[in-house]
Structure 1
Amino acid sequence: MGFRFGRAAAVAAGVAMIAGAALAHEHMGDVPDTPAAKAVVARHQSFKQLGGAFKAIFDELKKDAPDKAVIRANAQKMNALAGQEASWFPKGTGPEAGVKTDAKPEIWSDPKGFAAAVQKLQTETAKLQQVSVGGDVAAIKAQVQATGGACKGCHDKFRVPDKD
């Protein structure tokens, strides 16, 4: 039984949300040539990298013999990106920037709540990086779940839901 059943659905949902967020913004069309618009585009690209790294880890964990080096490299990448996340949302880069964004206004109207959500992701990605170095696949799987939960917590409050 193990990882592929039960908790895997929760992890898959987290991965799908991250990957979906990244892919939803891949085709942004014409973007105004303003600092705010450029910041929104950079934010989308950063989330695409974060989602890609998380998906790479998840894909490895589905294998009978996960490549621990791939997991370590992507956990390190996720942790580095999470450390930058707070800077991806400067004032003026919400919908008023003139670029499609799924960032809710609550990011700027509830800065303490958003900072707490970002801190939670940073804590969980740091733990993921740490356990990936140890190579214990069970511990990595457990931490992937916690990391996905941090992603979901932020998405639930600070990101416009995907339209099905």
Structure 2
Amino acid sequence: MKSLLVNPGDVVVTDFGIYQHWSFVSDTVCSRGKPMLISATKRNGTVKEETWDTVTQGKNTYITKVQKVKAPSEILNTARSQIGKWKYSVESNNCEHFVKWASGLEVTSAQVVNTSAGLITGAVLVGVVAENPKFVHFLGGALLVAGIFLALTRASEKVTAE
């Protein structure tokens, strides 16, 4: 972890290439002095509070701006209430859904919405421009445009005063 100054309740985003993983900064630290993170992961299939290094896996991680309607302590209590209970699903209960839910926001995932829109747009484009397209063309076009749409759905880094 480079010198990233985080506070309990902050939302950090870890860049895993094609997708981003969203986590809450906990109010506890691990034995190595780094903050713990609370998140929903496919790796666990649920919500866990884990060490910074376990969650971020050494990938680029930064604080993102999320409009929260709850105090940090309430967010962390809400998040912890789902440890071992949240049933992870990439479509409806992923890390972004979890962060927004625990923050008291509308439960959506821009990553899921934009990827779905990209799949549909790509397939439609192939149908419009290709002469006699085959299934593989529809699939390739859908995946290409979905990847582009997903790449454009990056959480922005929170600007902090130095």
TM > 0.5 fold call: no
- The structure richer in strand per residue is 2
TM-score, with structure 1 as normaliser: 0.29
Query: Greater Rg, structure 1 or structure 2?
Result: 2
TM-score, with structure 2 as normaliser: 0.29
